[in-house]
A and B are shown apart, each in its own frame.
Chain A
Amino acid sequence: MKFTWFHLMPWPHMPDDFRQKHRSVWVDLPNRMYQPELGHIAYHQYLDQLEYAEKVGFDGIGVNEHHANAYGLMPSPNIMAATLTRRTSKAALVVLGNSIALYNPPLRVAEEMAMLDVLSGGRLIAGFPVGTSMDTNYAYGTIPSLTREKYAEAHELIRKAWAADEPFAFNGRYTKLRYVNCWPKPIQNPPPVFIPGGGSVETYDFCLDNTYSYSYLSYSGYLRAKLLMEGYWKRVAERKADESPYRAGFAQVICVADTDEEAERLYGPHVSYFYNRCLHVYPGFADAPGYRTIKTIQTGALSQFAPGTGRDYPSMSWKDLTEGRYIVAGSPETVRQQMEELIKTLRVGNVFCLLHIGDMPDDKVRHSTRLFAEKVMPHLRNLWPDWKNHDDRFWCHPMHEPVPTRIAAE
């Protein structure tokens, strides 16, 4: 098993009446709410937490990209990852990822990811999300029904740019470059790639075609993720690919305390902040028409619109969230049991652990992180013995003696 400590970096100062005063945490929330001096503190605290995660033994530390929102304050995940290359030495840097349809030219992504891989000594795990509709369409203006075509072209350009040994011309529909010449080149060529997916059936095949790991990012927990992941594994079997659990990952909100009761007391308010403020997205921004393919609408993604299955986070209590397994929270033993169930039922080799939630203060983040690392993680390490608990295709390959380690030794 590989555990990545993942940070969303939310804005932790949304007021109590946020839901009443604002229709959306994304796209049109006035940025007068953002206070740069407080942002300075939050960024450094968040980066310290990622560095702490490496110290206590997480395999990877993760960042991602979002725009025009208070849910996640990393318009450029690469800037965050760059700071981490200098202050960490072992953990994989999981950049999940760059929304490649948004860059003009997308060659920029190939270059910056190569920089990160070189800086970190081969610790980059790259991610290529399509991006949420809020980010990609509403905040960055990509035409919804052309997003996927643009994405596919950007992906082709990036992979070719990494692979080439000399300049070449790229005559795409969206990008035309007479001289593609990626300096620097990545140490790992190519770096392993994780693809965040939200149920697009086309994405399953894309991952299988390219030997990328499919990462399902959802906040509704592993019980509801089961159907979607079964669809993925069914497709893996149809394509006669091997069933390495490292072909898949899942993101989970996790809270660990000494006892179940203590978990509710310590983390309840912050979980509530996350589900009620950070996820408060205006439905008109959630899914621009044309963003999802017709095939995806026809298959499964529709369930969220069906009567009676709509997520009603504001009315959900701690009991609802934990018993419904939206979040995995409680004593180390409770968390261990539920994580084992999650890992086995979804058949995932990667878990993206969300241990900072909402407006959680630093001491609680570290408490929960340390308990997970010390009392939960060791018991979950060997759940895939048939695969020797590692799959070279889906993890990074660091240099044997990267420079920061040498300097530390001197």
Chain B
Amino acid sequence: MLTFKNPPTRIEVVQTGKGRDLLFLHGAGGHMPNDPLIAALATKYRVSAPLLPGYGRSEGEEGLRDMLDVTLHALDVLEKLKLSKPIVVGHSMGGMIAAEMAAIAHTEIEKLCLLAPAGLWLDDHPIADIFAKLPYELPSLLFHDAEAGRRILTAGGGDMGDIEFLKQFLVMNARRLGMAGKLLFPIPDRGLAGRLYRVTARTLIVWGREDVLIPPVYGDAFKKAISKSKLVRIGRAGHAVGQEKPAAVLDAIQDYF
């Protein structure tokens, strides 16, 4: 656990694997049970995956209210982890945070990998409202193969009919998406489009071809806005591209960096 005084937060960090340093920032759902992407990355990299306050055992979400708060917090975490020129990888909301970090602290972040990042809004291609979705709708929203996705998401087990489990689930969901809402509700745009010009990192953008949450056209928009960037599309993959096709995402990262 990392502890910070300003704002007061305690951060759980999953650290696994050996190799060059890689920082992984999760999406709005947090780490998935036995997260397949983290497992794949750990075969080649020393992965540090901090949990945002509101997720897992990380605390102090009351002190993080907006995009700047979260971006500076993530930079504080990066600094405290003392990583050596890490590849900064972020998925979805984590990609939005990673892109903001790279825009604000562009001299500090040299290698950036955005997996289906949030943060832009195209009127002609509205992003689905995850805050109005019911739990049973999530697998088909996040995965191309919904059934396989359902198995990944529910691998932790638990019985929704059990009142105690249900209570814990609702508290967890309220903490996580309550925090995510500060960046993503009601529209996941906090002005990133106006700041992407500052990103000087070599940037790999990865998108699942079957992403129905943030349509692949957003990949082109990110590519256009970030000067040194490459866009890789992965077939038969939805929004959780890293969890659905971990080997392909790992390959893409290794190829590029």
Contact = CB atoms under 8 A, between A and B. Distances in A.
Contacts of A306: 163, 166
B174 A292 contact: yes
A125 B221 CA distance: 52
Given A284-B132, A289-B177, A143 B170 contact: no
B182 A289 contact: no
Interface string B181-196: 1100111000000000
B66 to A, nearest CB: 9
Contacts of A294: 171, 174-175
Interface of chain A, main secondary structure: helix
B178 A289 contact: yes
Contacts of A290: 174, 177-179, 181
Interface in A248-301: 282-285, 288-290, 292, 294, 297-298
Nearest to B162: A307
B76 to A, nearest CB: 21
B132 A302 contact: no
A144 B131 contact: yes
Interface of chain B, main secondary structure: helix
Contacts of A137: 131, 185-186
Contact of B181 (A282, A288, A298): A288
A294 B178 CA distance: 10
B176 interface: yes
B171 A298 contact: yes
Interface residues of B, number: 24
A146 interface: yes
Given A141-B186, A143-B181, A290-B181, A297 B166 contact: no
Contacts of B166: 302, 305-306
Nearest to A301: B170
Contacts of A145: 61, 178-179, 181-182
Nearest to A289: B177
A282 B133 CA distance: 10
Contact of B185 (A144, A297, A302, A305): A144
Interface string A219-250: 00000000000000000000000000000000
Interface of B: 61, 65, 131-134, 161, 163, 166-167, 170-171, 173-179, 181-182, 185-187
Given A288-B181, A289-B174, A306-B166, 20 more contacts: A137-B131, A138-B131, A138-B186, A141-B185, A141-B186, A141-B187, A143-B181, A143-B185, A144-B131, A144-B177, A145-B178, A284-B132, A289-B131, A290-B174, A290-B179, A290-B181, A294-B175, A298-B171, A305-B170, A307-B161
